[in-house]
């Protein structure tokens, strides 16, 4: 879109001088000889900047400024005057002008510099306004981004959202399980009801029980009044139980009752209370394995596992790293109120090669840190954290495939050296620990080029 500039001056030479200074392929310039012509032009279409003389026949530049601000308040105005003074400049700025320049111009480029600065500021303000608007939407509605590898997850979430049933979300730490739960809640019938998230592993068991189920006055020391729990206060909303695998066994029994009977009993209470809420749970653990080991109730597992949604780790999501990196770049820039800096292709290559053990949360933290500390116009490899630059967590698919025999030798060398380190470099103890006869252990050391004198003095 072209930048539209209106020049208003009763002096032909001044108009043409400004026009010549401001002409660029991406700009459209309109000329007017007085304020009345300018107001007619502004009434028909909008302009980014109006450049006007202060002293003209008819309406003055200041009067034109006031009229412009009443008609199109978002238009920037730059005032010029051949009778330059500090008081005139102050009056112009106080009236809403973006800038004030004195005529005659010793160098026409002064006009271009002043107008270009205004246009740049307008662009940044518009960009930040759009990003803040996007940020506001994100606070109101959880958004999940992904390509083909993630589309099935989103499709399933959208299908189950209107169905009043329990949902179990699984996935590694940092994959966005709570964000997906919020998305399901937002798309459900109870979207205007509360969404309450509780981390079952981050709260002491006694406090967790009280938070979920409430308590009666005098139920325990410090219970000075009756308190309703989250289930009772849900009011048709959603209770999201994060890290459900960490829930203590006695609370698993009480949760099972909620899912089966839709009732709870406060701590110290004598009657059952009906609850109306949807329960969603999440875990990074293998609940089936926990059931087999006896650490998680089988009946609760099947109650929770009515609909299971698994979020794949970021390393298995194809091009999603690039999509999410650009997204977090925009959002972080909006939060910090700074211009968006482009991620260079070399930086993106490093981000794509990283294994992301912390998944989306790690990527978000990396981008936020980089945006905050980057001093250049674009994000380069040197702006990224050392762990990304040095490739300490490269994807396995990016690691060079070695010949089998060479890979075996490297494994054996690492194995022997680790055994020595764990046993304070005592060869006999190391050999015994790994179940290899001492003589054979020495032979392995010789074969792999590990000399006793090298390992006796660890660095």
- Residue 424: the pLDDT is 76
pTM across the whole model: 0.59
Percent of the chain with pLDDT over 70: 91
Helix (H, G, I), strand (E, B) or coil at 340: coil
**Comparing 149 with 415, which gets the higher pLDDT?**
415
Find, among 184, 304, 185, 163, the residue nearest to 244 by Cα.
Answer: 304
What six digits make up the tokens of 181? 């739960």
Query: Cα(74)–Cα(309) distance, rounded to whole angstroms?
Result: 47
b/e burial code for range 248-258 (CB count within 10 A of at least 16 → b): eeebbebbbeb
Using one digit for the tens of pLDDT, what is the confidence trace for 352-401? 999 999 999 999 999 999 999 999 889 999 999 998 988 766 665 544 44
Find, among 283, 198, 282, 189, the residue nearest to 237 by Cα.
Answer: 189
Domains and CATH numbers, the chain: 3-135 (3.40.50.2300), 162-311 (3.40.50.300), 315-397 (1.10.8.60), 404-455 (1.10.10)
pLDDT higher than 70, residue 85? no
Number of other residues whose CB lies within 10 A of the CB of residue 392: 10
Helix (H) or strand (E) holding 134: helix 109-140
Find, among 165, 277, 191, the residue nearest to 229 by Cα.
Answer: 277
Q: What is the mean pLDDT of residues 1-15?
A: 92
pLDDT higher than 80, residue 449? no
**Comparing 330 with 83, which gets the higher pLDDT?**
330
Q: What is the mean pLDDT of residues 20-25?
A: 93
- Residue 395: the pLDDT is 62
Q: What are phi and psi of 278, to 5 degrees?
A: -100, 140
- Residue 443: the pLDDT is 85
Per DSSP, the residues of 196-213 read EEEETTSS-HHHHHHHHH
- Residue 458: the pLDDT is 38
- Residue 452: the pLDDT is 58
Give the ranges where 34-108 is alpha helix by DSSP (H): 35-44, 61-71, 86-94
Query: Cα(236)–Cα(277) distance, rounded to whole angstroms?
Result: 5
pLDDT higher than 50, residue 456? no
Using one digit for the tens of pLDDT, what is the confidence trace for 32-53? 999 999 999 999 999 999 999 9
- Residue 28: the pLDDT is 95
Number of other residues whose CB lies within 10 A of the CB of residue 390: 11
Please tell me the chain's helix, strand, coil percentages from 3-state DSSP, rounded to the nearest 5: 50, 15, 35
b/e burial code for range 137-166 (CB count within 10 A of at least 16 → b): eeeeebebebeeebeebeebbeebbeeeeb
pLDDT higher than 90, residue 192? no
Helix (H, G, I), strand (E, B) or coil at 68: helix
Radius of gyration of the chain from Cα atoms?
34
Query: Cα(164)–Cα(262) distance, rounded to whole angstroms?
Result: 13
């Amino acid at each position: 879109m072209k930048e539209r500039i209106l020049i208003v001056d009763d002096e032909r030479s001044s108009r043409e001088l400004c026009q010549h200074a401001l002409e660029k392929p991406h700009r459209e310039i309109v000329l007017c000889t007085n304020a009345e012509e300018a107001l007619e032009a502004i009434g028909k279409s909008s302009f980014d900047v109006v450049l006007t003389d202060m002293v003209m026949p008819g309406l003055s530049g200041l009067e034109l400024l006031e009229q412009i601000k009443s008609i199109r308040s978002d238009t920037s105005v730059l005032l010029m005057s051949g009778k330059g003074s500090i008081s005139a400049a102050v009056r112009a700025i106080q009236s809403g002008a973006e800038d004030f320049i004195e005529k005659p111009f010793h160098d026409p480029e002064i006009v271009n510099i002043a107008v270009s600065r205004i246009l740049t500021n307008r662009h940044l303000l518009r960009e930040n306004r759009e990003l803040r608007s996007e940020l506001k939407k994100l606070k109101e509605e959880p958004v999940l981004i992904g390509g083909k590898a993630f589309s099935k997850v989103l499709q399933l979430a959208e299908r189950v959202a209107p169905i009043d049933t329990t949902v179990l979300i699984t996935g590694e730490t940092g994959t966005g399980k709570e964000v997906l739960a919020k998305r399901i809640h937002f798309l459900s019938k109870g979207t205007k009801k509360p969404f309450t998230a509780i981390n079952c592993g981050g709260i002491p068991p006694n406090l967790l029980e009280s938070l979920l189920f409430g308590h009666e006055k005098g139920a325990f020391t410090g219970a000075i009044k009756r308190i309703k729990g989250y289930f009772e206060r849900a009011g048709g909303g959603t209770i999201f139980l994060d890290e459900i695998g960490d829930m203590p066994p006695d609370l698993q029994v009480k949760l099972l009752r909620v899912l089966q009977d839709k009732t709870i009993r406060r701590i110290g209470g004598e009657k059952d209370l009906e609850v109306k809420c949807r329960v969603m749970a999440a875990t990074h653990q293998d609940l089936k394995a926990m059931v087999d080991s006896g650490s998680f109730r089988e009946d609760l597992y099947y109650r929770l596992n009515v609909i299971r949604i698994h979020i794949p780790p970021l390393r298995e999501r194809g091009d999603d790293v690039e999509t999410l990196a650009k997204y977090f770049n925009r959002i972080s820039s909006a939060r910090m109120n700074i211009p968006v800096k482009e991620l260079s292709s070399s930086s993106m290559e490093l981000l794509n090669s990283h294994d992301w053990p912390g998944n989306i949360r790690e990527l978000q933290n990396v981008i936020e840190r980089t945006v905050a500390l980057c001093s250049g116009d674009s994000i380069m490899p040197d702006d990224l954290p050392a762990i990304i630059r040095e490739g300490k967590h490269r994807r396995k698919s990016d690691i060079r495939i070695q010949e089998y025999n060479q890979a075996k030798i490297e494994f054996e060398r690492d194995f022997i050296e680790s055994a020595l380190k764990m046993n304070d470099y005592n060869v006999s103890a190391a050999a015994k620990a790994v179940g290899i006869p001492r003589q054979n252990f020495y032979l392995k050391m010789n074969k792999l080029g590990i000399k006793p004198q090298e390992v006796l003095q660890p660095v």
